[in-house]
Amino acid sequence: MKVAFLVAPEGIEQVELTEPWQAVTAAGGIARLISTESGEVQAFNHLDKADTFPVDEVVGEASVDDFDGLVLPGGVANPDALRLDEAAVSFVKAFFDAGKPVAAICHAPWTLIEAGVVHGRTLTSWPSLRTDLTNAGATWVDEQVKVCTGGPNTLVTSRKPDDLKAFNDTFLAVFGGTA
């Protein structure tokens, strides 16, 4: 299993990147960090700078065909920056067009909204995105993890860092074809 992690150059909630990343690699998968710029990305522990991580590939050069699934970590600034980047939005939409699974946590569904892929879907997120998701035609639920199979692919969403264990277990099962 080869999984793309799409992030902006800064503003990623570190634990929402590192724990799913570790879950993929512990399951024998390959994780690749994709960003809108080369170099390193700056993660945060809420509002405080945390670690930096090396970018494996720039989104404009990455191919959906090379991956089995996509993980979108949260953080407020991360998805806000991604939804303004045309190549990032196109990359996300391409996973849906290809019928490949996507997992998004916390504020990451903002990028899904921009990609136009939430209409008619049921998902969860950080509570402040409820109105945005509803306005985009999604049904929002307050659940630890939500799997939505309605549409061209399977979408796994989760609310917050406290939900990471359930999020990781669920998206790994979906990406591995055992869910």
**Residue 107 appears among annotated catalytic residues:** yes
**Residue 148 appears among annotated catalytic residues:** no
What is the C-alpha to C-alpha distance for residues 151 and 147, in angstroms, rounded to an integer?
Answer: 12
What is the C-alpha to C-alpha distance for residues 29 and 148, in angstroms, rounded to an integer?
Answer: 23
Instruction: Indicate the SS3 state at residue 125.
Output: coil
Catalytic residue among 46, 107, 119, 148: 107
- Using left for φ > 0, alpha for ψ between -120 and 50, and beta otherwise, residue 177 falls in left
The answer to whether 127 and 142 have CB atoms below 8 angstroms apart is: yes
What is the C-alpha to C-alpha distance for residues 100 and 162, in angstroms, rounded to an integer?
Answer: 26
Residues labelled as active-site residues: 106-107
